[in-house]
């Protein structure tokens, strides 16, 4: 794999939530190292703790046990940027203002932040809409703005929680290809949650399959498909189909466990 030293180290991480109805173990003893510049995908049945793990990486949630280290290379850069499934753009800001928001917060002067934002707006194909407001954009275009903003922030790591989950198929493919292109240029360490095995294979260097509740690591699969990847052609390769089956067999067992649990409740 082309990535270098470690970027994220997750050691013995467990997470329990205490609710009125009792204790929920969301994560159980996660041990994982993600390399600098790696594109790391996470799949798992619903409720297995994917979002909880991402929120711990983002510092939005604390682990009940264990620790997480995100290595930093520059004290002036934000540690992480997160892209959610729901579009999280500010409706009162233009595309340019949205994309450059993080840079403004960091005190970067206007000319430079507009130059940086312009570059990412061009990469996502929205130059004509740089001065439009989100209400003038489609759902897919708004999600593009979220992706551009995350990259423009130039964080140490990018955290993406099903960013294309709400999009129609055409928009999803276009955005996956755009994400791949930007990521190829920046090689930013990325942790990406998805429900789609196909998406994980098209994008990832490795795919982690999580067990059903409580979430633990079931297996981690190396995606040895060549880069740069073209989403349309990668799916036709024999290796893609082999990897797809391996991931699906691992995932299917876990999904069946969730179904069995639901029937017993």
Ligand X SMILES: Nc1ncnc2c1ncn2[C@@H]1O[C@H](COP(=O)(O)OP(=O)(O)OP(=O)(O)O)[C@@H](O)[C@H]1O
Name the minimum Å distance from CB 171 to ligand X: 20
Q: Which residues pair with 193 in a beta bridge?
A: 42, 161
Comparison of 98 and 190: residue with beta carbon closer to ligand X = 190
Q: Torsion over CA of 162, 148, 150 and 52, rounded to 10 degrees?
A: -10
Residues found near ligand X in the complex (CB under 6 A): 17, 19, 24, 26, 44, 46-52, 213
- Which residues have C-beta within 8 Å of that of residue 124, sequence separation ≥ 6? 144, 145, 147, 148, 178, 182
Name the minimum Å distance from CB 207 to ligand X: 15
Question: Rounded to an integer, what distance in angstroms lies between the CA atom of residue 62 and that of residue 64?
Answer: 6
Element (H, E) at 234: helix 231-234
Comparison of 51 and 100: residue with beta carbon closer to ligand X = 51
Q: Of 157, 242, 207, 206, which Cα lies nearest the Cα of 2?
A: 206
Comparison of 7 and 51: residue with beta carbon closer to ligand X = 51
Comparison of 5 and 19: residue with beta carbon closer to ligand X = 19
Contact 162, 130 (CB under 8 A): no
Name the minimum Å distance from CB 152 to ligand X: 26
Token pair of 127 as six digits: 């130059």
Comparison of 144 and 213: residue with beta carbon closer to ligand X = 213
């Amino acid at each position: 794999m082309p990535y270098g030293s470690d970027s994220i180290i997750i050691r013995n991480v467990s997470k329990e939530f205490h609710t009125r109805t009792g204790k929920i173990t969301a994560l159980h003893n996660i041990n994982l190292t993600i390399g600098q510049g790696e594109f790391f995908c996470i799949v798992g049945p619903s409720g297995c703790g994917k979002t909880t793990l991402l929120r711990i990486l983002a510092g939005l949630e604390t682990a009940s046990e264990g620790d997480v280290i995100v290595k930093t290379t520059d004290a002036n850069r934000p540690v992480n940027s997160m892209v959610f499934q729901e579009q999280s753009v500010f409706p009162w800001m233009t595309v340019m203002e949205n994309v450059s928001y993080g840079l403004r917060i960091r005190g970067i002067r206007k000319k430079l932040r507009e130059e940086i934002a312009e570059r990412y707006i061009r990469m996502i194909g929205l130059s004509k809409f740089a001065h439009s407001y989100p209400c003038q954009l489609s759902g897919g275009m708004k999600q593009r703005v979220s992706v551009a903003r995350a990259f423009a922030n130039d964080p140490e790591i990018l955290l993406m929680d099903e960013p294309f989950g709400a999009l129609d198929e055409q928009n999803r493919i276009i955005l996956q290809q755009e994400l791949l292109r930007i990521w190829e240029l920046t090689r930013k360490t990325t942790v990406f949650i998805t429900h789609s095995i196909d998406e994980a294979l098209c994008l990832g260097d490795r795919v982690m399959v999580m067990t059903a509740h409580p979430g633990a690591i079931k297996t981690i699969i190396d995606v040895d498909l060549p880069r740069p990847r073209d989403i349309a052609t990668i799916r036709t390769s024999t290796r893609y189909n082999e990897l797809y089956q391996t991931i699906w067999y691992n995932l299917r067992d876990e999904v069946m466990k969730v179904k069995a649990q639901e029937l017993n409740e």
